[in-house]
Amino acid sequence: MNAPIRNYDIAELRRQDVAHHLPAQADHRLIAEMGGSRIITRAEGCVIHDGDGNAILDGMAGLWCVNVGYGRQELAQAAYDQMLELPYYNTFFKTASPPPIELATKVAGLMGGHLSHVFFNSSGSEANDTIFRLVRHYWKLKGQPSRKIFIGRWNGYHGSTVAGVSLGGMKAMHAQGDLPIPGIEHVMQPYLFGDAFGEDPARFAARAAQAIEDRILQVGPENVAAFIGEPVQGAGGVIIPPDGYWPAVEAICRKYGILLICDEVICGFGRLGQWFGHQHYGVKPDLIAMAKGLSSGYLPISAVGVADHIVAELREKGGDFVHGYTYSGHPTCAAVAIRNLEIMEREKLVERTREDTGPYLAKAFADRLAGHPLVGEARSLGLLGAVEIVAEKGTNRRFGGEEGKAGPVVRDLCIKNGLMVRGIRDTIVCCPPLIISHAQIDELVDILK
């Protein structure tokens, strides 16, 4: 048990939170009305503790990221050792330090096959910005500069930077800042329950993939650079595409010579029971974005996996790729990520998710939640799950019409009862640490129920 290290004056912290702090992704009027945020002070394993003394089962692994759970001494030790030896150095201008090179080698081994190079950044959003710039640079090098357009999906999430929001398909985010930037198209998401209730899954998979081909033909294949998608859409509401969707998407990309980008920021590092989500679906992307589980959130680090044919083009043509961040390849973050991956391997967290805890969660959902009068669907893949709250059993009818409003209410009730989940419109999503036990999965499902 991870005992408190410091005693905080929570009332004073909440006052300062309102007086001086602007938390991310928040309604700042609401936070002020609440008298400050809920303050999480410490955590161990799968449990977080707030300043009011509540222990809460973390069904979200922080923000979809704490895959190895909280309180890992060896990750603190890895950061400590690296900080003493070389806390920081950059990878600009022909320099590098050992940890990012070692981490790149490790990640290349996990991606396998044709993805053998890695470019580092600090966040998932930055990874997608890197992809955006790299893809456009690549097509210029290839002598096809007209290939500029990216195709993403409505309700996809690729981050909060200008390029990330633009590639993503969150309309509320587009509305703030006059986004997307030009050159980005969005097509339908493969959301069977929400958008095509009752349709045959195979037919729907083909129809959703066809929407991509239709858009390619509409804008001209010679103008399309890449398609980007999350293997399973996370922030959109854990939208698990029907079988056949991803192979069809891959075939369309190949047919028109378009790059396939998988945003693995949530799905990477074991979440779906494979090291990467695209491996579950059996497709071969040209680029992948990864973050979160790479370091289990202990320090900020993200990466872009790059296919050999893209690297070959960079090498053949030469010239600077004038892109990078001060913290690209940060040695301390990379050292922690290496140790994090070692923990995942040692404890077989990917296999465990695939063969044990993932199926256990799916069965618990099926046995104990699917029949609930307010549940329209309870679905999961690996340790990523969603429960659709409906106003009328047997339909997909929401409480609040199109946008729904049950999600936040259920989420708040869950927190009161000791479980952290997230409400996205009328969908409750969960993404627990990969170390979660059967007993904790039971607890998660019982509280939710």
Give the residues lining the site for ligand PLP (CB under 6 A): 64, 123-125, 128, 157-160, 230, 234-235, 263, 265-266, 291
Nearest in space to 430 (alpha carbons), one of 254, 238, 230, 155: 238
Nearest distance, CB of residue 167 and ligand PLP, angstroms: 9
Q: Which is nearer to ligand PLP, 229 or 244 (CB)?
A: 229
Q: Which is nearer to ligand PLP, 187 or 390 (CB)?
A: 187
Nearest distance, CB of residue 207 and ligand PLP, angstroms: 23
Nearest in space to 8 (alpha carbons), one of 32, 31, 30, 37: 37
Asked whether 417 and 447 are in contact (CB, 8 A), the reply is yes
Q: Which is nearer to ligand PLP, 235 or 369 (CB)?
A: 235
Phi/psi region, residue 292 (left: phi>0; alpha: psi -120 to 50; beta: rest), is: left
One DSSP character per residue, 294-330 reads: GTTTSS--EEEEEEHHHHHHHHHH-S------TTTT-
Q: Which is nearer to ligand PLP, 160 or 210 (CB)?
A: 160
* 188 three-class SS: coil
Helices (H) and strands (E) in the chain, counts: 18, 15
Q: Which is nearer to ligand PLP, 369 or 384 (CB)?
A: 384
Number of Cβ atoms within 10 Å of the Cβ of 297: 21
Task: Compute the 3-state secondary structure of the chain and give helix, strand, coil in percent, each to the nearest 5.
Answer: 45, 15, 40
Nearest distance, CB of residue 200 and ligand PLP, angstroms: 28
End-to-end CA distance of the chain: 28
Altogether, the residues listed in the chain come to a count of: 449
CB-closest chain residue to ligand PLP: 124
Q: Which is nearer to ligand PLP, 304 or 447 (CB)?
A: 304
Nearest distance, CB of residue 359 and ligand PLP, angstroms: 24
Q: Which is nearer to ligand PLP, 375 or 381 (CB)?
A: 381
Q: Which is nearer to ligand PLP, 68 or 447 (CB)?
A: 68
Cα–Cα dist 295/107, whole Å: 12
Nearest distance, CB of residue 64 and ligand PLP, angstroms: 6
Nearest distance, CB of residue 230 and ligand PLP, angstroms: 5
Sheet (strand 384-389) strand order = 375-381, 384-389, 427-430, 422-424
Q: Which is nearer to ligand PLP, 158 or 354 (CB)?
A: 158
Nearest distance, CB of residue 267 and ligand PLP, angstroms: 8
Nearest in space to 372 (alpha carbons), one of 347, 393, 343: 393
Q: Which is nearer to ligand PLP, 130 or 396 (CB)?
A: 130
Nearest distance, CB of residue 278 and ligand PLP, angstroms: 13
Nearest distance, CB of residue 399 and ligand PLP, angstroms: 25
Angle at 74 between CA 72 and CA 77, to 5 degrees: 120
Sheet (strand 47-50) strand order = 40-44, 47-50, 55-58, 419-420
Q: Which is nearer to ligand PLP, 265 or 414 (CB)?
A: 265
Cα–Cα dist 224/215, whole Å: 10
Angle at 164 between CA 130 and CA 146, to 5 degrees: 65
**Inter-CA distances, 327 with 65, 90, 277, 299, Å:** 19, 7, 26, 12
Looking at this protein, which amino acid is placed at residue 20?
Answer: H
Q: Which is nearer to ligand PLP, 291 or 378 (CB)?
A: 291
Looking at this protein, which amino acid is placed at residue 431?
Answer: C
Q: Which two tokens stand for residue 71?
A: 């309180």
